[in-house]
Amino acid sequence: MIGTETGDANAARALWVAGPQRLELRRAAVKVPAADEALVRTLFSGVSRGTERLVFEGRVPEAEYERMRCPLQEGSFPGPVKYGYAAVGVVERGPAALEGRTVFCLHPHQERFVAPADMLHPVPERVPASRAVLAANMETALNALWDSGAGPGDRIVVVGGGFVGGLVAALAGRLPGADVTLVDRAPKREALATAFGVGFALPENAPQDADVVFHASAHPAGLASAVACAGFEASIVELSWYGEGVTPVPLGGAFHSKRLRIVGSQVGHVSPLRRPRWDYGRRLRKALDLLDDPRLDAFLTHEIPFADAPQRLPALLAADADALAVALRY
């Protein structure tokens, strides 16, 4: 572990998962960028609590080690590993079109880094750097909406009012005439639903006969609620990432008679419904455009200095932590 200052223009601090439930700052070499690369000084990076909790706890299934790798990751699972994929910073050196621009990059948590220029996506001027860290999860929500086939006028239920579920509800609420309800066991999530003009319900009062249901609670009880909300031949889009272990799925009762479908949605591939025309770059640019909404700042519940991450982040990664999006400030 290194101290709070590197004192070296060619080095920076990076956050590593050194072992199960152990974080530390390590020195990272910062090379001179090549002609097709750029040097970025990080302003903020976002912590994706669901995925990064599994990495932090060493619960990435061995069969998923390669698929779970993030771009520009160092190390390997279960650790030590330098992980993360939501960095926002200013280009200090690189192609003229990017120098001085605020950009988003799928890069681990690190003070300064060099990345291929084609991995850097300019942040729209109306989107603050702190909010831009939501881009990766906004991509997940956008892809899930595509996977669901939801459209105007649909009855839509989102079970799980965390970061990703909340973003899905926010996007679904923009569909003309859609009747959207966010379902969560925490009454305080009603304020989030109200901010985006969608309904709210506790699980015991969740709507029935929905056209599309999204599940994002990462809990078997939430999945059971999602199945119960689905109407005849409805789709249940599963967004939760459970990691290791076995998750019970309620396939009894009316599951078969209602001809329900459970669809796995994951951001690693563009939805088949959009894949002929959309690539990763176009999808990420659209996710950044969708962040031009000050209401989305409600998801940024915690902001901590990067230097404090090893001490303060573990509590915010806990399953019962009262946090949505966590931003590291550099």
- Read off the CATH number of the domain in which 16 is found: 3.90.180.10
pLDDT of residue 246: 83
Q: Which of 239, 98, 77, 89 is nearest to 157 (CA)?
A: 239
Q: Are residues 141 and 79 in the same domain?
A: no
Judge if 104 and 178 occupy the same domain.
Answer: no
Are 149 and 237 in a shared domain?
yes
At 94-128, the pLDDT tens digits run 999 999 999 999 999 999 999 999 999 999 999 99
**Are 236 and 213 within 8 A, CB to CB?**
yes
Q: How many domains does the chain have?
A: 2
Residue that has been written with the tokens 């709507």 in this structure: 207
- pLDDT tens sequence across 203-254: 999 999 999 999 999 999 999 999 999 999 999 999 998 877 788 999 999 9
Position 9 scores a pLDDT of: 66
301 pLDDT band, cuts 50/70/90, is: very high
Specify the length of the chain in residues.
330
In a domain, 287, yes or no: no
Same domain, 208 and 260: yes
> Model confidence over 11-42: pLDDT tens digits?
899 999 999 999 999 999 999 999 999 999 99
- The answer on 107 and 209 residing in a single domain is no
Last residue of a domain, one of 264, 285, 311: 264
Within a domain: 199: yes
Q: Does residue 34 fall inside a structural domain?
A: yes
8 A C-beta contact, residue 166 and residue 198: no
Q: Are residues 15 and 96 in the same domain?
A: yes
Mean pLDDT (the chain) is 95
- Find the CATH number of the domain harbouring 168: 3.40.50.720
Q: What percent of the chain has pLDDT over 90?
A: 91
Reduced to 3 states (helix: H, G, I; strand: E, B; else coil), residue 226 is: helix
Structural domain includes residue 256: yes
Q: Is the pLDDT of residue 1 over 80?
A: no
Closest alpha carbon to 228 in 200, 250, 198, 248: 250
Q: What is the pTM of this model?
A: 0.93
Query: Does residue 301 share a domain with residue 237?
Result: no
Asked whether residue 2 is assigned to any structural domain, the reply reads no
pLDDT at position 4 is: 40
- pLDDT tier at 257 (50, 70, 90 boundaries)? very high
- Reported as a single tens digit per residue, the pLDDT across 157-200 is 999 999 999 999 999 999 999 999 999 999 999 999 999 999 99
34 and 143 part of one domain: no
In this structure, the answer to whether residues 49 and 159 fall within a common structural domain is no
The predicted structure's pLDDT at residue 224: 96
Q: Are residues 314 and 223 in the same domain?
A: no
pLDDT at 241 (0 to 100): 83
Q: How big is the CA angle at 248 (ends 245 and 252), to the nearest 5 degrees?
A: 160
Last residue of a domain, one of 220, 248, 264: 264
Is pLDDT above 70 for 277? yes
Q: How confident is the model at residue 6 (pLDDT cuts 50, 70, 90)?
A: very low
- Sorted by sequence, the CB contacts under 8 Å of residue 112 that are 6+ apart come out as 12, 30, 39, 40, 41, 42, 89, 92
- Give the whole-angstrom CA distance, residue 290 versus residue 74: 30
Residue 217 located in a structural domain: yes
133 closest CA partner among 47, 209, 63: 47
pLDDT, tens only, 71-89: 999 999 999 999 999 999 9
- At 119-133, the pLDDT tens digits run 999 999 999 999 999
Whether residues 245 and 302 share a domain: the answer is no
pLDDT band at 5; cut points 50, 70, 90:
very low
Residue 284 lies in a domain: no
Judge whether 172 lies within some domain: yes
**One domain, residues 112 and 19:** yes
SS3 38: strand
Range of the structural domain that residue 23 is part of: 11-134+293-329
Q: Is the pLDDT of residue 8 over 70?
A: no
